[in-house]
Amino acid sequence: MTECGRGLSDAEALYVFAVCKEPDPAVIADLRGVAMGEPLRPLGFAELTAIVQTVRAADFTDEAWQARMADRSELERYARAHHHVVSEAAASCPTVPLPLATLYHGEERARRALLAETGRFRAALERTAGRCEWGVKVYAGEPPAPDPDASPRPPEGQGVAAGGARPAPGAGLAYLERKRGVQARRERRQEDALRSAETVDAAFRKVAAAGRRLRLQAAESPGKGRLQVLNATYLVGESRSAELEELARTLRAETGAQIEISGPWVPYSFVGEV
C-alpha cells in the first residue's frame, strides 16, 4: 500500500496506522503518532475508519527511509510510535494494524485504496475481534552433565610415542563404542526435543483460534546457547490469558522443555496481507 518514492518533495502525505471498527474519537485525539505537532484523525471509508496523520512526504522518500533504517535509534523511534498508536486503538476497538510507513499522496487516494481492500479488512476484523496474539518459544531441556567414563577419548597411547607404548587389545573398539554412545544420546535428546515441540504446538492450537509456526531462531553462538525447537504464535481469546499461563506450566512439567510465552499482543500475525 505504501506510495512513498523518489519523486516526493516537501508536499504533504497521509500516513495510515490502522483500520478500525468504530474507534473512540477521544482515543485518537490523545495519540501523538510519528509527526510532531500534527494531530491524528479518523478517515472514514465504507463502514470502517482509518487512523491517519499528515506528514511531510520528503521524510518518507526512498532515500530518507533508507537512511532512517540505517539509524537504529531513529528507526526504533518510528516503530515505537507506530506500535503505540496501533496498540491504543486495538485496546478500544477491533483493529487491523497496517505496516510501518504506509503512506498515500493525499486523502482521496488513500480513501480509494482503502476502499479497494474493504473485503480484506472486514475479514481480518472478524477473525481477530476479541482476540489477541501470544508468542510461544520452546527450547530443548538442558543436557545432563557429561559422564567422564562415557565421554569419547582416544585409546591410551594412541598417537603418543613416549615409551613406545601400544594400546591394549580392544581399546580402539571401546573408544568407538563410547563415541557412538555420545552421538546416540545427542540424537535422542534432539528427537525428544522435537517431540516436545509437537506436543506444545498441538496443546496451544486446541485453545487458539489460529496458530502459525515461525522460523526457528538460531543460538547466538554456534554450538552454544539453548536449542530452539519451536517458535510459534497463536490467536487466542482475550479472556484466556490465565489459561495459557497454566497450560505452559503443565507442559513444562510434562515435557521437561523450556517454554516461554509472551503477550498479549496486537494480532499482527493474523490480519493477512493488507
The per-residue pLDDT string of the chain (274 residues; one tens digit each, 9 = 90 and over) reads: 455 443 444 588 999 999 999 888 888 888 899 988 889 999 999 999 999 999 988 888 888 888 877 888 888 999 999 999 999 999 989 999 999 989 998 899 999 999 999 999 999 999 999 999 999 999 986 655 555 554 555 555 554 444 555 655 656 666 565 656 656 666 666 777 788 899 999 999 999 999 999 999 876 555 556 789 999 999 999 999 889 999 999 999 998 889 999 999 999 999 875 4
Is 50 part of any domain?
A: yes
Residue 155 burial class via C-beta count within 10 angstroms: exposed 0-12, middle 13-18, buried 19 and up: middle
Within-domain flag for 3:
no
Q: What is the pLDDT of residue 7?
A: 41
| Residues 154 and 256 reside in one and the same domain | yes
Which among 129, 145, 166 is the end of a domain? 129
217-189-218 Cα angle (round to 5) = 10
Residues 225, 238: one domain?
yes
Q: What was the pLDDT predicted at 185? A: 61
pLDDT in the model for residue 146: 54
Residue 184 and residue 105 share a domain: no
Same domain for 16 and 73?
yes
Is the domain of 240 the same as that of 178?
A: yes
Asked whether residue 157 falls in the same domain as residue 103, the answer is no
Q: How far apart (Å, rounded) are the C-alpha atoms in residues 204 and 136? A: 9
7 inside domain: no
Task: Return the C-alpha cell found at 187.
Answer: 540424537
Domain containing 63 equals 12-129
The terminus-to-terminus CA distance of the chain in angstroms comes to 8
149 and 98 in a single domain? The answer is no
Place of cell 591394549: 168
Residue that is last in its domain, among 87, 110, 129: 129
What is the structure's pLDDT at 9? 47
For residue 256, what is the domain's CATH number? 3.30.70.260
Based on the domain organization, do 253 and 198 belong to the same domain? Answer: yes
Residue 175's alpha-carbon distances to 156, 158, 166, 181, in angstroms, are 10, 11, 15, 10
